[in-house]
Amino acid sequence: MAKESNQQLSGAPTDTPYASSASELSNSSFMAPLNPGDKRRPSVVASAGSRQSRSFIRRDSSDSDPLSALEHALTPNIETEAERAAREPISHVRTGATATSIGSAASRSPNFEVVFDDDGQDNPEKWSDNPRNWPLWYRAYTIFGVSFSTWVVVFYSTSYTSSIPGVMEEFDTSSTVATLGVTTYLLGLAAGTLIVAPASELYGRYPVYLVCQIIFTLLVVPGALAKNLEGILVVRFFGAFFGAAMVSNSPGTVVDISSEEYRALAMSMWSIAPLNGPTTGPIVGGFLYEYFGWRWNAWIAVILGGVSIIFIAAMKETYAPSILQAKAAKRRKETGDPRWWCRYDQKVCMWHLIKLSLSRPFVLSFTEPILWFLNIWISVIYAILYLCFVAYPIVFTEHRGWNAGMSGLAFSGIGIGTMMAIFAEPLIRKLINSHPKDPETGRVYPEAAGGIMLIGSVCTAVGQLCFSWTCLPTSIHWAAPIAFGIPFGAGNTLTFIYGSNYLASAYGVYAASALAGNAVMRSAIGGILPLAGPKMYASLTPQWAGTLLGLLEAALIPIPIIFYRYGARIRAKSKIIRQMRDDTVRNERTSRKQDGKNSGARACNEASQAEGSAPPGGVVPGANSDEEKGAAHLNSTAVQEKEKEGGSPGNERKDEIIV
């Protein structure tokens, strides 16, 4: 029997629920199954769940994925030294109604480790338990489902803006007060990003998606039936709070089921709907308000939310740790043998996860100069985008006399620009990959994205300024201001995607916290700035108010220039990045030692089985076999050595790279 251990365990870092698998399947086709001829033990690196340090995996491909850094924040990874002490020791895991003893990873036999068997590869009629080996049609369906569901949440954030005139009339309030519906929604997204979204690390993606999307949809109903504005503001906040789970976690699902070679393509396919959510909201909402009334902007969200729930209900779990944990628990229950385990049996301490999710993004945001500037830059551009949902109705409805439906169509220019930026991904990839690569990882340095960030920043400022100068007087053709929405939309998309990519590349295992801090700040500023829109445009006129915003965006252009030219020096002076590199080196050194010991244990097991001392597939429970003694001796040695190093015996790594 595996011995119980009260040692503290390692696992995926609590702030980084997802991680990068930067080297697997470099020659595979899009979402292609793993190679059935590979006789090595399947690794979670090939699924979406490796804890191996990605900084030391060399890539042979000359065409690296410029979005791979974002993956670092989207799949399980190694934890830092500071997080180890907060792990819950595993002494029991529930299997059905019985509490079953499970030893620490250092005392477990490799023969009983549960991994992906990839049996669906050889038998097309039998589904593999590895999400990356699911049928292509089902993985495409999964991407469509999470993309559509995310779009519903984002769509509802801006469709409300088309209802503001109706809300003002029914509740006899000002446009500034009615605009609070946008503010509370974005603040709800910010809060949910910190609290609800990380729950997928504890419970898996599927249950979090399903429960949160159901609650989101139910909370839209009171908004459609509201008798006062206060009720609308409250339910919009809490609806967005739960909707944030979809917005934050759905990119991780794409990473779970796609191979690296075409992951950028898969992410582009996924992003088409969510990134166009802000522009499709007022387009659809304008016509609904004009023909059916303002409440139908909530009812359509209920209908779309119900459809998204159906899509989600037909999905399967894609998060590798949850799949393997369930598989190990099932094996223990079916066999009655408590020695079956997986590398993700280590449970994250829930309170520690909440503490990190709430504190670390703010600590990084206030102590890291990189985040000071990039957060301000991205947040201002994001906030001005949401201010457009106040400005466009003023220009096209109040001054040009368009009805609500036609006024919504004015956002089509921004939508076209967004699509152009998404479809330009192959060209952008070539541009980024033309930069020098890190010899350790084979990836380009984070600063390679700086050029694209600069292009996005310039396009945003130019689009905003030109819109301001052509929106009025009405003698200027209406097509001119709409056309200048194209560079504005493209610039916003490039800024958001590649600014986030820079943060993910720079902060590695801390990427999720850095991105969460960025999301909170941009949502807060994006929610507050539109409140000033009505009075600002009324006092300064749309031309001068828009010019002021365009000049503000132009004043921020030096930020991507500085990071493009001097980003490496700035990163070198970051305390947290230096700590991350030290932790990475220490974890790699420790894991290499443990990998050697695990290999010795497996060799001992094979030798014992060849001599007939143990049946195939495992040892006899309670038997004092040579295999069990050898493994116990090696694991005991590993524990002693790790204690000398000051580490936790449960923090070893058993990953194997499949290429």
Q: Residue 173: its pLDDT value, please? A: 95
Q: Is the pLDDT of residue 407 over 50?
A: yes
Q: Is the pLDDT of residue 103 over 60?
A: no
Q: Is the pLDDT of residue 488 over 90?
A: yes
Distance (Å, rounded) from C-alpha 211 to C-alpha 598? 40
pLDDT tens for 258-276 read 887 778 788 989 999 999 9
Q: Residue 603: its pLDDT value, please? A: 65
Band the pLDDT of 126: cuts 50, 70, 90: low
**Partner residues linked to 437 by β-bridges:** 444
Distance (Å, rounded) from C-alpha 361 to C-alpha 384? 23
517-528: b (≥16 Cβ within 10 Å) or e: bbbbbbbbbbbe
Of residues 145 and 603, more confidently modeled: 145
Domain 135-315 and domain 368-573, same fold? Reply is yes
Residues 6+ apart with CB under 8 A from 624: none
Farthest-apart Cα atoms in the chain, separation: 93
Distance (Å, rounded) from C-alpha 9 to C-alpha 84? 7
* 246 and 212 Cβ atoms separated by less than 8 Å: yes
Handedness of CA 478, 481, 484, 490 (dihedral sign): negative
Q: What is the DSSP letter of 64?
A: -
Band the pLDDT of 334: cuts 50, 70, 90: very high
Q: Residue 446: its pLDDT value, please? A: 93
Identity of the residue numbered 64:
S
How remote is the C-alpha of 119 from its chain's centroid?
Answer: 29
**Partner residues linked to 650 by β-bridges:** 9
Q: Is the pLDDT of residue 89 over 60?
A: no
* Backbone region of residue 464 per phi and psi (left: phi > 0; alpha: psi in -120 to 50; beta: other values): alpha
Q: Is the pLDDT of residue 286 over 70?
A: yes
pLDDT tens for 222-259 read 999 999 999 999 999 999 999 999 999 999 999 999 88
Q: Is the pLDDT of residue 634 over 60?
A: no
Residues 6+ apart with CB under 8 A from 483: 413
Q: Residue 223: its pLDDT value, please? A: 96
Distance (Å, rounded) from C-alpha 243 to C-alpha 241? 6
**Residue 464 C-beta-side C-alpha neighbours within 13 Å:** 30
Q: Is the pLDDT of residue 108 over 50?
A: yes
Of residues 84 and 510, more confidently modeled: 510
Average confidence (pLDDT) over 395-421: 96
Rounded alpha-carbon distances, angstroms, from residue 65 to 23, 188, 308, 379, 433: 11, 33, 30, 26, 8
DSSP per-residue letters across 468-511: HHHS-STTS-THHHHHTHHHHHHHHHHHHHHHHHHHHHHHGGGH
Looking at domain 368-573, its CATH superfamily turns out to be MFS general substrate transporter like domains (1.20.1250.20)
Q: What is the mean pLDDT of the chain?
A: 79
pLDDT tens for 33-79 read 433 334 333 333 333 333 333 333 344 444 555 555 555 555 544 44
Q: Locate 573 and state its tokens.
A: 């002076």
Band the pLDDT of 152: cuts 50, 70, 90: very high
Report the range of poorest mean pLDDT among 118-127, 268-277, 530-539, 545-554.
Answer: 118-127
Distance (Å, rounded) from C-alpha 450 to C-alpha 176? 37
Q: Residue 350: its pLDDT value, please? A: 72
Q: Is the pLDDT of residue 96 over 60?
A: no
Q: Residue 69: its pLDDT value, please? A: 56
Q: Residue 353: its pLDDT value, please? A: 76
CATH fold, domain 135-315, is Growth Hormone; Chain: A; (1.20.1250)
Q: Residue 658: its pLDDT value, please? A: 27
Q: Residue 257: its pLDDT value, please? A: 94
Average confidence (pLDDT) over 102-113: 67
Q: Residue 442: its pLDDT value, please? A: 85
Sequence spans of domains, the chain: 1-134+339-352+585-659, 135-315, 368-573
Average confidence (pLDDT) over 575-599: 76
Nearest CA among 7, 223, 32 for reference residue 106: 7
In the structure, how many helices (H) and strands (E) does the chain have? Answer: 24, 2
Q: Locate 585 and state its tokens.
A: 């080196």
Helices 450-470 and 412-423, packing angle to 10 deg: 160
Q: Locate 571 and state its tokens.
A: 């990163």
Q: Residue 443: its pLDDT value, please? A: 87
Q: What is the DSSP letter of 4?
A: P
